[in-house]
Amino acid sequence: DGGITQSPKYLFRKEGQNVTLSCEQNLNHDAMYWYRQDPGQGLRLIYYSQIVNDFQKGDIAEGYSVSREKKESFPLTVTSAQKNPTAFYLCASLETVSNQPQHFGDGTRLSIL
Partner 1 sequence: AQSVAQPEDQVNVAEGNPLTVKCTYSVSGNPYLFWYVQYPNRGLQFLLKYITGDNLVKGSYGFEAEFNKSQTSFHLKKPSALVSDSALYFCAVRPYQTGANNLFFGTGTRLTVIP
Closest approach, Cβ 15 to partner 1, in A, equals 25
Give the Å distances, CA to CA, from 26 to 8, 16, 73, 81, 113: 17, 33, 9, 31, 33
Neighbours of 21 (CB within 10 A): 23
Q: Which residues of this chain interact with partner 1, rule CB under 8 A? A: 4, 6, 9, 31, 33, 40-43, 45, 48, 50, 58, 88, 90, 92, 94, 96, 98-99, 101-107, 109
Nearer to partner 1, 71 or 88 (CB): 88
Contact assessment for residue 64 and residue 79, using Cβ atoms and an 8 Å cutoff: yes
Nearer to partner 1, 50 or 67 (CB): 50
